[in-house]
Amino acid sequence: MTTAVIGTGGIGSVIARELASGGETLRLASADTKSARMLAAEIGRAAVVAVDNDDALRGADAVVLALRFAVLKGVIDEIADALTGKLVVVPSNPVGIDAQGNVPRLLPEGQSSGGVVAGWLPAGARLAMAFGTMSADLSESSSHRSPEPAVLFYVTDDDRAGQEVERLIRTAGFEPVKAGGIKQSGRLEVGGDLHDLVVGPAEARSLIGAG
Ligand SMILES: NC(=O)c1ccc[n+]([C@@H]2O[C@H](COP(=O)([O-])OP(=O)(O)OC[C@H]3O[C@@H](n4cnc5c(N)ncnc54)[C@H](OP(=O)(O)O)[C@@H]3O)[C@@H](O)[C@H]2O)c1
Burial (CB < 10 A; 0-12, 13-18, 19+), residue 203, is: middle
Give 147 Cα–ligand 1 centroid separation in angstroms: 31
- Does the beta carbon of 11 sit less than 6 angstroms from any atom of ligand 1? yes
Q: What is the pLDDT of residues 167-193, one digit of tens each?
A: 999 999 999 999 999 999 999 999 999
- Does the beta carbon of 173 sit less than 6 angstroms from any atom of ligand 1? no
| Kind of pairing between the strands at 175-178 and 151-156 | parallel
**pTM for this prediction:** 0.97
What is the C-alpha to C-alpha distance for residues 164 and 90, in angstroms, rounded to an integer? 13
Structure confidence at residue 187 (pLDDT): 96
> How many residues comprise the chain?
211
- Give the torsion sign (CA, 72, 76, 79, 83): positive
DSSP structure class, residue 134: S
Pocket test for ligand 1, best of 67, 72, 103 (most atoms within 8 A of CB): 67
| Kind of pairing between the strands at 25-29 and 2-6 | parallel
Give 36 Cα–ligand 1 centroid separation in angstroms: 11
Q: What is the pLDDT of residues 123-138, one digit of tens each?
A: 999 999 999 999 999 9
Residue bearing the CA closest to ligand 1, atom 24: 7
The kind and range of the H/E element at 209 are: helix 201-210
DSSP structure class, residue 84: T
Structure confidence at residue 209 (pLDDT): 82
- Does the beta carbon of 132 sit less than 6 angstroms from any atom of ligand 1? yes
Pocket test for ligand 1, best of 5, 8, 11, 142 (most atoms within 8 A of CB): 11
> Average pLDDT of the chain?
96
Structure confidence at residue 110 (pLDDT): 84
Q: What is the pLDDT of residues 48-100, one digit of tens each?
A: 999 999 999 999 999 999 999 999 999 999 999 999 999 999 999 999 988 89
- Does the beta carbon of 135 sit less than 6 angstroms from any atom of ligand 1? yes
